[in-house]
């Protein structure tokens, strides 16, 4: 969940390369970092540079400061190639050509994933996965062994091979509306930026968010379909998964950050037994929207506060 709407500009600097003498590569790297700092200064952004020789803070201390900082846009330069941390704010990766390239911006979180699952926006989920795999993963190293731990995905050291198998699971989600348990674990670890999350806890999360439990499936004739799907790994094999319930949502408005903040406030007010009409007027939202988005996700609200 994004707790802060301010961006963090994230960049990696190889200090081994940068400190290896006055090579053209080292000079270019130094210039790149200096230009990034000028960009930050011109925009009054707060800069944390783990590679700066006079820095006395550990990365853990810097990350804690960034998470605690609720008001500033952050520029963070690190020499940790394995950085994979939840900053609870949107990430703007620094590309070679631009500081503002939307292709290198990661604003999706697990709220977005659940939203897209409920609306059956499988292509959006696939696009978000690719962005972390191949944009974030091009700048930082994602530990594949930790990512697939406790899943039935075969061991691999190739993000491309893993992605190809995930694509098959996404096709099953399109075709049968079933999210495989192994893909649910990958989604959780990717979008919470938590490679240490345990499969059991992840299962409880999906049960709470989607209102369903995983169960066993086995399809013998998956490839006998007219939809154009071809499955190599899931045919005639038992697996566990979640059948995703259909929920009526407002696609464009629900994904808007301000609208999501209103939903959070509405949930708190309704939980404190404020009448839905009062909440509707205060937040300038229709009662129908509140019922569609909040009540459909939690039947208890529907019973108690209608």
For the chain, which residues make up each domain, given as ranges? 8-106, 110-243, 251-305
- The enclosing H or E element of 91 equals strand 91-93
Q: Which residue has the higher pLDDT, 157 or 29?
A: 157
In sequence order, the 6+-apart residues with CB closer than 8 A to the CB of 39 are 45, 75, 99
Give the 3-state secondary structure of residue 64. Answer: helix
| CB-based contact 10:93 (threshold 8 Å) | yes
Give the 3-state secondary structure of residue 5. Answer: coil
Q: What is the CA radius of gyration of the chain?
A: 22
pLDDT tens, position by position, 163-193: 999 999 999 999 999 999 999 999 999 999 9
pLDDT tens, position by position, 121-139: 899 999 999 999 999 999 9
| CB-based contact 186:110 (threshold 8 Å) | no
Strand partners, 92: 9, 105
Q: How many CA atoms lie within 13 A of 61 on its CB side?
A: 6
Q: pLDDT-derived band of residue 19, with 50, 70 and 90 as boundaries?
A: very low
Query: What one-character-per-residue DSSP string does 152-217 give?
Result: SPPP-S-HHHHHHHHHHHHHHHHHH-EEEHHHHHHHHHHHTT-TT--HHHHHHHHHHHHS---EEE
Ramachandran region of residue 150, left (φ > 0), alpha (ψ -120 to 50) or beta? left
Q: Which residue has the higher pLDDT, 239 or 303?
A: 239
Give the 3-state secondary structure of residue 141. Answer: coil
| pLDDT reported for residue 103 | 85
Interval 286-305 mean pLDDT = 56
| CB-based contact 285:267 (threshold 8 Å) | no
Separation of alpha carbons 83 and 129, rounded Å: 17
């Amino acid at each position: 969940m994004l707790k802060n709407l301010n961006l963090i500009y994230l960049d990696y600097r190889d200090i081994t390369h940068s400190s290896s003498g006055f090579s053209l590569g080292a000079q270019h790297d130094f210039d790149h970092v200096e230009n990034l700092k000028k960009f930050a200064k011109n925009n009054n952004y707060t800069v944390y540079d783990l590679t700066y020789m006079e820095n006395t803070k550990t990365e853990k201390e810097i990350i804690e400061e960034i998470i605690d900082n609720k008001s500033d846009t952050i520029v963070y330069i690190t020499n940790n190639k394995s950085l994979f941390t939840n900053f609870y704010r949107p990430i703007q990766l620094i590309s070679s050509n631009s500081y503002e390239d939307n292709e290198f911006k990661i604003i999706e979180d697990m709220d977005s994933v659940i939203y897209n699952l409920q609306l059956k926006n499988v292509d959006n989920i696939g696009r978000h996965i690719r962005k972390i795999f191949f944009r974030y993963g091009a700048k930082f190293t994602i530990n594949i062994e930790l990512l697939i731990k406790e899943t039935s995905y075969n061991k691999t050291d190739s993000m491309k091979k893993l992605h190809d198998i995930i694509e098959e699971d996404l096709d099953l989600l399109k075709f049968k509306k079933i999210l495989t348990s192994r893909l649910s674990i990958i989604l959780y670890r990717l979008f919470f930026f938590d490679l240490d999350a345990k499969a059991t806890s992840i299962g409880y999360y999906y049960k709470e968010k989607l209102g369903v439990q995983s169960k066993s499936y086995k399809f013998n004739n998956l490839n006998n379909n007219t939809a154009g799907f071809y499955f190599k790994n899931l045919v005639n094999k038992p697996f566990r998964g979640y059948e995703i319930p259909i929920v009526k949502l407002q696609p464009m408005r629900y994904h808007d950050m301000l609208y999501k903040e209103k939903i959070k406030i509405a949930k708190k007010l309704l939980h404190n037994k404020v009448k839905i009409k009062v909440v509707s007027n205060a937040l300038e939202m229709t009662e129908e929207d509140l019922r569609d988005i909040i009540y459909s996700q939690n039947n208890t609200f529907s019973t108690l506060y209608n």
